[in-house]
Structure formats: structure tokens, C-alpha cells
Structure 1
């Protein structure tokens, strides 16, 4: 078994809502796994079930070869870092770090050693005598992580720990968490709705939708080979562009009659499916010098200047399309031609939503 094994876990609430639907997942020792998905997809329920804060209505949870879903939270050897830090406001940083160890009967000298090691690792030595209200958001988050580290658990759980921080601090703390996880070789599960956090932190991403797994893979796999329309639309900022098409011979025909000739290596993937959704990432689309040089005709809308790049909004047939152009270019023409390389085509069955 891996460090953590979820086997057909289910969670149904008294009102009948099925938050988790027979989910199975195996996480290896030392792996950093990120659960990502929209609000209500079940990611926090899964995390809380692992921690023992929610009881399962079906399935099993094992840490190593030990079943833990039947054990109380205190015996699972898990440390959790919460979104709101959950620090004791009347205690100093030192006492917040030491509190859990003291409750477990650890000797004072050992507590002091562990607290000071964690404080050194997280660079919060100067704050040990302060109380939480005297700290910034980033400092409080470090204390919350320190409280988890001193316990030396088998498993670290992070429940959207960066969501209360400003954008600059979030970026900094992402890097700090990744460095820390690698230094400790700690098996970690991180919950977020932020795809940037998922892409930058994860060894593997688990994309959730409606209490079920849509795809499990490395950040590269999930981004470049999304398993479904849902994953393709969720992972990426701006989101992938989608075009509704029907198959006619070797062509895909858009709703306004424009025709796209499929690359030869893509044609076997159709496998008899006639209603195709074509997906193309915004950064893979280029503007051609004339409309006729492009694969499709783009009706120009409005632009957004981002400094190092530009988002250009418009329409192709009945599809709203956004381009992520690498530099600012002024486009006064009402129409442009668009093109993209052969490796940029993503084909999905319009009915099932699955990748072809």
C-alpha cells in the first residue's frame, strides 16, 4: 500500500446530498498531491474525512497498512493546516507550537527542541514570544505550519491555507510550502480551488467534479492532455477555447460553415464520432497577416493589455474566443485570420465530454 489509500469512499449527508461518490485514490510516500475543483466538488469533504472530522458512509481509508477511518482523529497521526490558521489567540507563538506536544505528554526538553527546530526551519524564531494578533497573515500561516511540523505526523493535510493572503504573499508562500515539503519529504494533500496553486505545488493533481475524479495526473499531463471537457475548461487561465463542430469527411465544420482540415494523425481519434468539440489553448493561437492565411476567421472584439502579453477577445462562428498574444500588437482590422500548430488540437466527444 501507499502512504494513503482511499478505497471507494462515500459521503452522503442526512439531506441526501452525495458529496463524495465511491472515490478511490492511492498516494505514495513523500508525494505532494493537490485536490482541485470548483466549490462543492467534494475536495474539502475528502480532506476532512481523511482527518476524521467527517465520518464516511462507505469505503475505507488506510495510512500505510493501517485502517484509520474507524479510529478517532487523535489516533490517525495526521496534522492539518486550516484556512483560518486556528491559532490560540491568548497563547504566544511558542505555546501555540508546543500545545499539541504538551497534551500528548512529551517531555519539556523534547518539546523545546522540536519547537525551536520548527521555528528555525520556518524562520519564525523572532516571533516566539509574540501572540497571533501581533503577526502578519504570512507569519500566522508559518506558525500554523510549524504546529503541524512539530508533531512529525505520517500525513500533512492543507485545507486552502493560502486563500486569506494577498496575491503577492500567496505566490511567496506557495514557494515556501513546496520547499518545505521537499525538505521534509512529507506526504502531503493540499486542497484548493486555485489552479495556479495546483499547477505549481503538485507532484500529481486530482481534478474533482461533483464528488468524482475527472482526472489524476502530473500538472503537465492535466494541462496538455485534459481527459475531459470539464478538465480542459477548468485548468488554464484564460480557459481553453472551444468550437462546436460536425465531421464531414476529413474536415471539421464550424456552425457558420467554416471548414477545418484535421491533421492526418488526428483523424483515427474520431472513431466514428460526428459531433466534435475542438479545444485550443489561448496561448497556442497565432494571428495571421491576412484572413485567408488563417485556419479560421476571427471577429475582433476588445483587448486587455497585461504588460508582457495581451488578451484579445472576439468571436469565431458562435464561439467566444480569447487569444493570449505574447506581446502588445495593435489590431485595427475588424477581422483577423487565426492559426495554430498541429499539436494544439484537442478533440472531445461533444455528447460524453470525453477526450478522443
Structure 2
């Protein structure tokens, strides 16, 4: 097989331009990508409203309104705990500074990387630095909040328009296919929609399950505001790898600075570790992974590339879009090789795990049948 350098450079150049476009246009594309996923999960609801006699415009509006009501209800449910936590923020901040100063002094005593300094002087320097940097921090926070609010507004508008014009959009894309292939194209679009819908539905189920387990665990340990910390950690878990650690770090730090005993923080760490093991090995593979049908290599590459291109949003979005790409490539013979690379066919790890579980299940049955 001969390799054409002309085609190779053309392919590399096209790939470079594609990712450059994704980076430069991310302000528009990120809300549009989220809107596409949201429209997938709201599509059955909008269709149901239309079957009840509503027109497409009102059905799309009512679907989005229903989603916003559910989100607002969740925020209202946790508003009291958020208010209580904000009242304790000043005390928590002072305790965090004291813990940080103690750790710094302990490290300096053993490593001697700072001149000799007293604890009170170190605390004063830290507070002075925080006061001086608070202005830029507030400005950055305001800028980030404004960007998030703008993105959310654009996402809602895009979702509304996609739901209204979904029929025309699908018909327009189907025109790119030959007439004898359009039925296959409609089936492919339906499969892509189902993948996006199942992914979001699976993530919502994961959030509810993890939030409930986390909250019960924190309540048993005796941490204040257990439902707030539990469901916050569950929501952050949608960010692969990083989210779980960040979600656990918040209640661990809170326990460390709020309670006199370090065993509380250790108990929180152990609890989140156990929940993370269950979530990674059982819940996510069964609920979400089974719907995506992508292998581990594709999942990791999707997360890394997404983080490089779109940051946290890319880590969330690129994995379901990789699954949609697999569905698209699976419909065409020329692209089936890509679908095989993305998919989980012949996954020896899953086969070995299934055999291991089956072997132990049969062994346990044998113990109780004697």
C-alpha cells in the first residue's frame, strides 16, 4: 500500500483547521453543543405535548419551562442549607487560614524554605495578601459569572430553536444523502438522538443515586449540611476524573476545619472513596457506559482532547459526541473501521470481568446449596 504525502498533509491540515475552528468559535459552539444534548432529552417531552394538541412553538416553550421549574425546585430545596453555610463562611475562612498556617509552619520547620516566622505574623501576611488580591478575584469572579450566565442564556435559546425547527433541520441534513439512502439517514439521526438522550438520562440517574448515597453517608458521619455537600459532589461527578476528587475535597476540608477531631475528615474521605469505587466499577459502566458503547481508550482520549479544546465543558461534551460519532460511522461501510476503533467490540476486559463475576456467583450458590 502506497502512502500519498499529498493526502497525508491535506488530512493533517484539515484536522488542524477543524480544531482551530473549535477553539476560536467556542463561545458559540459550547452553548450550541449543550443545547443539542438538551434538545435530545427534551424531544420526547415536546413530542408528548404536541400529541396533546399543542403547536411546536408552545410545546418547545413548555418543555424548556418544565426543565427550568425542575432546576429551580432543586435550587430552592437546597437554598436553606446554602444560606446556613454562607453564615458560617467567615468562621470557616478563619479556620482554613489557621490550618494553612499550621501546615506551612510545620513544613518550614522540616524543610526550612522560609525565614523564621511566627504564626501570628504569617496569618497577618496571608490576610493582607487576600485583601490586596480580593479586587482582582472579584473582577475575575464577575467576569466568569457573566460568561456562564451568557452561555446559559444562549443554551436555552438554541435549545428552543432546535426543538421548533428539528424537522426542518433533519430534512435539510438528509438532503446531503442520495435519495435511496435517506431512509437510512433518518434511522441514523434517530439513533444519534437516542444516544444523546440515554447519556443525559443516565447522568441524571447517576446524580440522584450518588447524591442520595453521599447525603446518607455524611448524615451518618455527622457532617452538617449533608444534602448540600452530597448532591454538590454528585453534580461535580459529571466532570470525569477531576469532578469526583473535587466533590470529595469540599466536605473533607469542611470537616477538617469545622470539627476538632481529624477522624471526621478521615471518615468522609473513606466514605467518598467507597462511593467512588462503586460508582466507577458498577454504576457508571452499567447506567451510562452501556448506553454510550465506547471503549475505555476512546473515553479517555475524548476527555483529554475535550479538556484541551473546551476546558471543563469539553470534558463533559466530547464523550457523548464520540458515542454519536460511532453511531454515524457505523452506518457507512467506508467508516466502519472508525466505528470499530471507537466501539467496545471484543473488549477482553469486560469479558474477563463477566467471567470472574459468573465464577464467583456460581461458587457462592454452591456454598449455600450444600
TM-score, normalising length: structure 1: 0.25
Larger relative contact order (CA 8 Å, sep ≥ 6): 2
Specify which structure has the higher proportion of helix. Answer: 2
Specify which structure has the higher proportion of strand. Answer: 1
TM-score, normalising length: structure 2: 0.24
